[in-house]
Copies of this chain bind each other. A is one copy, B any other.
Amino acid sequence: MDSHLAARTPPPLSPRKRPRQARAVVTVDAIFEATLQVLLAEGMRHLTTTRVAERAGVSVGTMYQYFPNKQALVYALNERSLETLADRIEATCRACHAAPVNRMVEALIETYWRAKTERPEVTRALYRSVAEMDNTALIESFAQRVDAATTEMLASATDATFTDLHIVNLTLVTVIFGTVRNAFERGVSDAVSHALKQQLLEMCLAYMQAAMA
Pick from A44, A181, A186 the residue with the most CB of B within 10 Å. A186
Chain A: residues with Cβ within 8 Å of the partner, total of 51
- In the complex, the answer to whether A203 meets B206 with C-beta atoms within 8 Å is yes
Q: Which residues of B contact A52 (CB under 8 A)?
A: none
Taken together as a complex, chains A and B put the C-alpha atoms of A179 and B143 apart, in Å, by: 14
Within 8 A of B (CB), among A91-133: 120-121, 124, 127-128, 131-132
Q: Is A196 on the interface with B (CB-CB < 8 A)?
A: yes
Complex: chain B residue closest to A210, CB-CB: B206
Q: Is A17 on the interface with B (CB-CB < 8 A)?
A: no
Given contacts A45-B132, A187-B136, contact A200 B175 (CB under 8 A): yes
- In the complex, the answer to whether A203 meets B171 with C-beta atoms within 8 Å is yes
Q: Is A46 on the interface with B (CB-CB < 8 A)?
A: yes
Given contacts A174-B196, A185-B139, contact A131 B127 (CB under 8 A): yes
Per-residue CB proximity of A6-50 to B under 8 Å, as 1/0? 001000000000000000000000000000000001111110000
Q: Is A178 on the interface with B (CB-CB < 8 A)?
A: yes
Q: Which of B45, B121, B143, B185 contacts A186 (CB 8 A)?
A: B143
Copies in the assembly, this chain: 4
Q: Is A177 on the interface with B (CB-CB < 8 A)?
A: yes
Q: Which residues of B contact A209 (CB under 8 A)?
A: 206
A74 to chain B, nearest CB (A): 12
* 30 sample A-B contacts, Cβ–Cβ < 8 Å, listed by A number: A1-B121, A2-B124, A4-B42, A4-B43, A4-B45, A5-B43, A8-B42, A8-B46, A43-B132, A127-B131, A128-B131, A128-B132, A136-B187, A140-B187, A143-B186, A170-B192, A171-B199, A171-B203, A174-B179, A174-B182, A174-B183, A175-B203, A178-B178, A179-B179, A181-B182, A199-B207, A202-B207, A203-B206, A206-B206, A206-B209
